[in-house]
C-alpha cells in the first residue's frame, strides 16, 4: 500500500475552538485569492456568524470563496444569513440535499463529514472541529474536546485537490458563474521538515484507506499506541490488531468517552472493554466533557489527526479525511496533551466483576455491536444515488444548532 507522503511541511497542533477558530479566522482575514471550506456543521450561532463575516470581508477584497456543508449536519439557514453570503458573491453549497419525510431528514448515510480549509493555496486546516459554539469551553459542560492541525507546504496541494474533486459536479453545473472558476494552482514551496500524507475515505476508490493505514501502523508498533476517539466501534480486524500489539508488549492506551452525548454509545463500547482489558489494553474514560477527538499516535513519530471516527459510519459510509504525520516533535507534543488528558481528566476502566452484570452487558452489547458493525453493508441494499451539490436555500423552519454527536455515530 503506497502512502502519498509529501515532504517539507510545517504543522501546528490546534486544540479545541479556542485555538482552532482564531487560526482559521486569521487565515481568512489574510486571503487574497481563494478560500475553500468543507464542514459537516456550519451553525448559525456566534461562531458561524463570525466566520460568515470573515468570509464576506475576504470576498469583498476579491477572493473566491466557496463553502460546502452537509445537508444532514447543517439543515437550515436563515434568509438573512444566506443573503449576506450571496451579496458578497460567496458560493454556499449543500452536499446531498434530500427531501424531508414527515419532517425527518432521510439522508442518514454517506455524509460529507470532512473538515477541511484551504486559503490561497498556502495554508490548510484539517481536524474534527465543526463551526459551532459547542467547541468553545465557555459553552459549558457540553463543550467538546477536539483537535485539528494547521498545515503549510506541499501537503496543502493534496487538500486542495481533494476539495476541488468534491466541487467538480458543482463546477459543471454552475460553470457560467465566475465564483466557481478554478484558480490556477501554483507549485507550493517547502515550509518545514515534516512529512505528511492525506488519506481520505470515500465511496469510490478509497473505501477503506483510513482503516488500512491505522491497522498497518498498529501492526508495526513496537513501544506505544495511544488512540483518542469519540466513537470507538472498529471492526474485528482492528480489535484483533490492538490485542496482538498489547500481547507482544506494546503499551496500548485508548481514550474513550466517559460522558458520551449518546448513552448507548458507551453501552455498546463497554461490550469491548472486558475483551480488550483482558488482553492488556488500557482504557481511559474521559469524564470532564464530551470527547469529540479523532487522533492517534504510535511510537515516536507516527500520528494522525482528522475527521474519521473508528465506527461504522466513518469507516464504511461517510466522506472522511485524515492526515498522517511523521514528525517526532509533533508526536511528542500530541502525546503530552493526551497523557495530560489521561492523568488529570480520565478514569481507568476496570473489568466487570459481577457475573450477572457481565452476562447482561455481554448479551446487550454484543447484539448492538454486531448490528452496528453490519448496518453499513445492509445500507448498500438501499437504492444508490450519486450525492449532489446544490446551492443552500432558506427554510421555513427556525434555525437550530444541530449537535453533531446526536447523529454522528449510529
Residues labelled catalytic: 113, 115, 120, 292, 294, 299
Contact call for residues 309 and 291 (beta carbons, < 8 A): no
96: Cβ contacts below 8 Å, ≥ 6 apart: 70, 71, 72, 107, 110, 111, 112, 387, 388
Contact call for residues 43 and 131 (beta carbons, < 8 A): yes
Here the contacts of 347-350 (C-beta below 8 Å, separation 24 or greater) are 347/258, 347/284, 347/285, 347/287, 348/282, 348/283, 348/284, 348/285, 349/273, 349/277, 349/283, 349/284, 349/285, 350/277
Cell of 369: 455491536
Contact call for residues 395 and 75 (beta carbons, < 8 A): yes
* Cα 122 from Cα 34, distance rounded (Å): 10
138: exposed, middle or buried (Cβ count in 10 Å: 0-12, 13-18, 19+): exposed
Amino acid at each position: 500500500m503506497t502512502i502519498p507522503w509529501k515532504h517539507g511541511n510545517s504543522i501546528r497542533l490546534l486544540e479545541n475552538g479556542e485555538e482552532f477558530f482564531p487560526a482559521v479566522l486569521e487565515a481568512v482575514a489574510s486571503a487574497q485569492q481563494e478560500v475553500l471550506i468543507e464542514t459537516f456543521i456550519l451553525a448559525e450561532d456566534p461562531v458561524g456568524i463570525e466566520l460568515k463575516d470573515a468570509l464576506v470581508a475576504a470576498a469583498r477584497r476579491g477572493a473566491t470563496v466557496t463553502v460546502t456543508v452537509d445537508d444532514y449536519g447543517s439543515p437550515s439557514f436563515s434568509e438573512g444569513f444566506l443573503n449576506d453570503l450571496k451579496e458578497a458573491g460567496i458560493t454556499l453549497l449543500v452536499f446531498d440535499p434530500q427531501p424531508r419525510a414527515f419532517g425527518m431528514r432521510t439522508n442518514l448515510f454517506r455524509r460529507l463529514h470532512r473538515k477541511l480549509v484551504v486559503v490561497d493555496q498556502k495554508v490548510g486546516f484539517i481536524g474534527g472541529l465543526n463551526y459551532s459554539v459547542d467547541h468553545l469551553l465557555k459553552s459549558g459542560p457540553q463543550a467538546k474536546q477536539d483537535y485539528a492541525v494547521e498545515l503549510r507546504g506541499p501537503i496543502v496541494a493534496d487538500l486542495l485537490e481533494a476539495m476541488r474533486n468534491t466541487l467538480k459536479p458543482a463546477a459543471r453545473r454552475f460553470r457560467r458563474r465566475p465564483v466557481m472558476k478554478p484558480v490556477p494552482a501554483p507549485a507550493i514551496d517547502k515550509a518545514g521538515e515534516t512529512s505528511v500524507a492525506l488519506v481520505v475515505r470515500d465511496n469510490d476508490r478509497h473505501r477503506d484507506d483510513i482503516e488500512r493505514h491505522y491497522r498497518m501502523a498498529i501492526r508495526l508498533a513496537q513501544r506505544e499506541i495511544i488512540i483518542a476517539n469519540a466513537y470507538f466501534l472498529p471492526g474485528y480486524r482492528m480489535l484483533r490488531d490492538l490485542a496482538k500489539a498489547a500481547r507482544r508488549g506494546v503499551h496500548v492506551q485508548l481514550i474513550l468517552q466517559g460522558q458520551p452525548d449518546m448513552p448507548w454509545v458507551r453501552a455498546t463500547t463497554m461490550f469491548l472493554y472486558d475483551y480488550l482489558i483482558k488482553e492488556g489494553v488500557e482504557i481511559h474514560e474521559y469524564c470532564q466533557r464530551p470527547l469529540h477527538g479523532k487522533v492517534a499516535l504510535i511510537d515516536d513519530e507516527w500520528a494522525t489527526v482528522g475527521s474519521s471516527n473508528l465506527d461504522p459510519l466513518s469507516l464504511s459510509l461517510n466522506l472522511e479525511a485524515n492526515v498522517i504525520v511523521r514528525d517526532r516533535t509533533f508526536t511528542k507534543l500530541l502525546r503530552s496533551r493526551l497523557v495530560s488528558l489521561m492523568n488529570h481528566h480520565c478514569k481507568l476502566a476496570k473489568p466487570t466483576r459481577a457475573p450477572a452484570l457481565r452476562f447482561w452487558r455481554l448479551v446487550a452489547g454484543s447484539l448492538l455491536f454486531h448490528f452496528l458493525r453490519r448496518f453499513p453493508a445492509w445500507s448498500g441494499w438501499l437504492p444508490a444515488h450519486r450525492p449532489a451539490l446544490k446551492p443552500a436555500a432558506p427554510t421555513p423552519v427556525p434555525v437550530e444548532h444541530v449537535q453533531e454527536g446526536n447523529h454522528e455515530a449510529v
